[in-house]
Amino acid sequence: MSWCKKIFGTNKPIIGMVHLKALPGTANFDGDMEKIYAAALKDAKALEAGGVNGIMVENDGDIPFSHLLTTEQTAALAALTAVIKEHTNVPIGVDAAFCDYKSGLACAKGARADFIRLPVFVDTVVSFNGIMEACCDEALKYRKAIDATEVKILADVQVKYTHMLNSNISLEESAVWAQACGADGVIVTGSHTGGETPIDAVKRVKNTVKIPVFIGSGVTTDNADEQLNIADGAIVGSSIKSDGVIDTEKVKKLMNKIEHK
């Protein structure tokens, strides 16, 4: 049995995003933690009611992102993830944006989450706030050190919002490296959040690696058939929202489309 089937109960899981409001320690935090908890739980319950196979919690409101989370951010992210874990009955993941492997793994361990997302695992990229180097070696060592080897790592390859420092490295090479360096699954994205992931990119990665390939942006009811015919799963957020919050009916519509492929 694949690890996807074991954790998510399906071979093609749909993971819904809980995008948190700005956390303590960031420029846009407004001081109201209760509002953050309420919004996060509302979105999580809407995702569960809509039938998603998993939920990923991300500090999406912490703009501008830094390479490392502050102590305050990490504490809040862990606490919110734990509350969502306690109040839902689906697998939970963590994305400590932007690619803080220690915070992500520590949050997952403390909150008993099932997986994390690491956007910069084997690539060296340039983002708006500088150069980011691969973290695969340190991430795997830290996961072992805190006895969190049960936490799966979903690693982006040539992730959105960044540029490869060496543009000669192909998408396939990045995917092969991610697999060889211990990723449990890889994520392929479009150029930005909500932007459709090129189907050719999904095919290229799927034909290159044996680990699960997830689509990380732009899955909608209109393209779900094509995208999920190739990929092993998807992470969705933008397309299942109305006015910035998760819309259960949109989630149900997407899940029904996928389940009746």
- Average pLDDT of span 128-141: 95
Query: Is residue 3 scored above 90 in pLDDT?
Result: yes
Among candidate residues 107, 133, 106, the one with its CA nearest the CA of residue 121: 133
Angstrom CA distances, 123 to 56, 81, 191, stand at 22, 27, 16
CB 80 within 8 A of CB 37: yes
The widest CA-to-CA distance across the chain, in whole angstroms, is 47
Predicted confidence (pLDDT) per residue in 22-44, tens digit: 999 999 999 999 999 999 999 99
Render pLDDT for 204-236 as a digit per residue (tens, 0 to 9): 999 999 999 999 999 999 999 999 999 999 999
Res 192: pLDDT: 78
- Tell me the fold of 15-259: TIM Barrel (3.20.20)
Place of tokens 């150029």: 191
pLDDT at 261: 52
What is the pLDDT, as a whole number, of residue 260?
56
Residue extents of the structural domains in the chain: 15-259
Tell me, what's the pLDDT at 203? Answer: 98
pLDDT tens digits, 47-92: 999 999 999 999 999 999 999 999 999 999 999 999 999 999 999 9
